[in-house]
């Protein structure tokens, strides 16, 4: 375990195995003077929390403990009003593949006219020493469309339309999804706090 030495504050481990999230974080953090790395391969963390925030905390703490590095986790998902908030924190576990998860949602929504839904992203940043530093959430409201549209992004992106611009996440370019999406909104809250922490570190506060 790394006891908070210099290199541990110059690297940020993204505590996820989801390649779609990693691609988004690489874009969000491209201007930061931090080396962005993925969590160790093959790591499995049981998501036993009851909320997005609890699961994000669990993942970030596990990865910080394992790596001794600054660690950031995202727990996210799609909550659909007509389905009582499902799949919610079970979004990743709703079926085996992205295509099957999309099919299940569309099938379950057949009897309903109400297509309102929201994506949520909870982020948790944990220090190399294992302290929770920042917790934030971002939400994006939208509707579930009748047929998948678009080829960009990942997960449920082809069936989630942001009403204000009438495009699904999968029809948006990276910049549009970053500025309108749940993860981008959470990162917008995280960044100023992260800059403050890195500044404090560079002035020796965490040495």
- For position 28 contacting ligand ITT by CB under 6 A, the verdict is no
Are 108 and 83 a contacting pair, CB within 8 Å?
Answer: yes
- Is 50 strand, coil or helix? coil
Q: Of the two residues 4 and 91, which places its CB atom closer to ligand ITT in the complex?
A: 91
The tokens for 59 are 């993942």
The residue within the footprint of ligand ITT, chosen from 117, 153, 161, 172 (CB under 6 A), is 153
Alpha helices in the chain (DSSP H): 19-28, 52-67, 98-109, 174-180, 182-202
Please name every residue paired with 121 in a beta bridge, in sequence order, or none if there are none. Answer: 76, 138
Considering only the stretches 29-37, 130-138, 150-158, 193-201, report the one whose residues sit in contact with ligand ITT under the rule CB under 6 A.
150-158
- For position 18 contacting ligand ITT by CB under 6 A, the verdict is yes
The residue within the footprint of ligand ITT, chosen from 102, 183, 198, 201 (CB under 6 A), is 183
Are 46 and 75 a contacting pair, CB within 8 Å?
Answer: no
- Is 97 strand, coil or helix? coil
- For position 127 contacting ligand ITT by CB under 6 A, the verdict is no
The tokens for 180 are 């309108």
Whether residue 157 lies in the annotated active site: no
- For position 79 contacting ligand ITT by CB under 6 A, the verdict is no
The residue within the footprint of ligand ITT, chosen from 17, 51, 129, 202 (CB under 6 A), is 17
* Residues making contact with ligand ITT (CB under 6 A): 16-18, 21, 47, 74-77, 91-92, 153-157, 169, 181, 183
- State the catalytic residues: 75
């Amino acid at each position: 375990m790394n006891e908070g030495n210099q290199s541990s504050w110059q690297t940020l481990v993204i505590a996820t195995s989801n390649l779609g999230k990693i691609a988004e974080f690489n874009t969000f953090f491209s201007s930061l003077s931090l080396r962005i790395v993925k969590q160790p391969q093959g790591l499995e963390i049981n998501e036993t929390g009851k909320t997005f925030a609890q699961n994000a905390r669990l993942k970030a703490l596990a990865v910080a403990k394992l790596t001794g590095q600054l660690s950031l986790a995202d727990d996210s998902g799609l909550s659909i009003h007509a389905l009582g908030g499902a799949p919610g924190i079970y979004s990743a576990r709703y079926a085996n593949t992205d295509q099957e998860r999309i099919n299940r949602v569309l099938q379950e929504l057949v009897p309903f006219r109400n297509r309102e839904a929201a994506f949520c992203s909870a982020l948790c940043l944990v220090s190399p020493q294992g302290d929770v530093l920042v917790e934030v959430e971002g939400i994006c409201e939208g509707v579930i469309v009748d047929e998948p549209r678009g080829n960009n992004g990942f997960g449920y992106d082809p069936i989630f339309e942001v009403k204000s611009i009438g495009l699904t996440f999968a029809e948006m370019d990276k910049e549009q999804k970053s500025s309108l999406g749940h993860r981008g909104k959470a990162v917008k809250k995280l960044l100023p706090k992260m800059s403050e922490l890195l500044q404090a570190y560079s002035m020796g506060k965490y040495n």
